[in-house]
Amino acid sequence: MCNHYRMKATIAELRELYGVFEGQDRNLPSYEDIYPNRESPILRREADRLTLDVVKWGVPPPSNAKRPVTNVRNLESPFWRSMLGNPERRCLVPVTSFSEWEGEKGSKSEVWFSLKQKPLFCFAGVWRPADDGPCMAFLTCTPNDLVGEVHPKAMPVILDPDNYDQWLTGDVSEVKKLAVPYPDDAMVLTR
């Protein structure tokens, strides 16, 4: 389960990938270490245009859990149904790399993953208002072989730019089909 990622792109790099968006005049810092309960930039659709927001990573959990929920694995869960079913609650989560841990407890090391040809990409995310401000989580799916060597349970859902609009506006049955492993040959890892 991915619980550490980076977003070191500039506003100009975001604009190059996503086009014009509300908030492109902001001073966006480099996010070297994004962990649960920390701030993270997202792009969401508002009034037919993209808007840049900075929100907390982690959705308040169901009443019987203590930690915020950071990854959406079960797309059929009633917990996620309202966010996935409402295009206004879907978002793009800009990322430059993400990590998974490998090794035995006490001697684990972090392995970083990124895309070969693209320094900036995005996860399929959902967001919602909460008592202490807006928050988000991102979808995960079965891992591809590259990520699966390190973390055999899941990997983040990485969207191709051709699918951004579909993710943000499509019918829920269509967008669930985007929750597939990203191609191994388009990714690299660093141990």
Q: What is the pLDDT of residues 17-63, one digit of tens each?
A: 999 999 998 889 999 999 999 999 999 999 889 999 999 999 998 87
Q: Cα angle at 127 between 180 and 11, to 5 degrees?
A: 85
Q: What is the pLDDT of residues 127-139, one digit of tens each?
A: 999 999 999 999 9
Give the contacts of 19 (CB within 8 A, at least 6 positions apart).
Answer: 50
pLDDT at 110: 93
Give the contacts of 159 (CB within 8 A, at least 6 positions apart).
Answer: 92, 121, 122, 123, 124, 167, 178
Q: Which CATH superfamily is domain 5-190 in?
A: SOS response associated peptidase-like (3.90.1680.10)
pLDDT at 190: 82
Residue 151 has pLDDT above 90, yes or no: yes
What does pTM read for this prediction? 0.96
Q: DSSP code of 130?
A: -
Query: Taking the chain, what is the end-to-end CA distance rounded to the nearest angstrom?
Result: 17
Report how far residue 164's alpha carbon sits from residue 23's, in angstroms, rounded to the nearest whole number: 18
pLDDT at 104: 84
What residue spans of 123-171 are helical by DSSP H?
145-148, 164-169
Q: What are the phi and psi torsion angles at 33 (to 5°)?
A: -140, 100
Instruction: Choose among 172, 176, 136, 178: nearest CA to 158.
Output: 178
Sign, Cα dihedral of 45, 47, 53, 56? negative
Q: What is the pLDDT of residues 138-150, one digit of tens each?
A: 999 999 999 999 9
Percent of the chain exceeding pLDDT 70 equals 99
Q: What are the phi and psi torsion angles at 37 (to 5°)?
A: 75, 10
Domain assignments of the chain as residue spans, ordered by start: 5-190
Q: What is the pLDDT of residues 83-133, one digit of tens each?
A: 999 999 999 999 999 999 988 888 889 999 999 988 999 999 999 999 999
Band of the pLDDT at 4, cuts 50, 70, 90? very high
Report how far residue 83's alpha carbon sits from residue 42's, in angstroms, rounded to the nearest whole number: 15
Sign, Cα dihedral of 116, 190, 104, 61? negative
Report how far residue 159's alpha carbon sits from residue 142's, in angstroms, rounded to the nearest whole number: 14
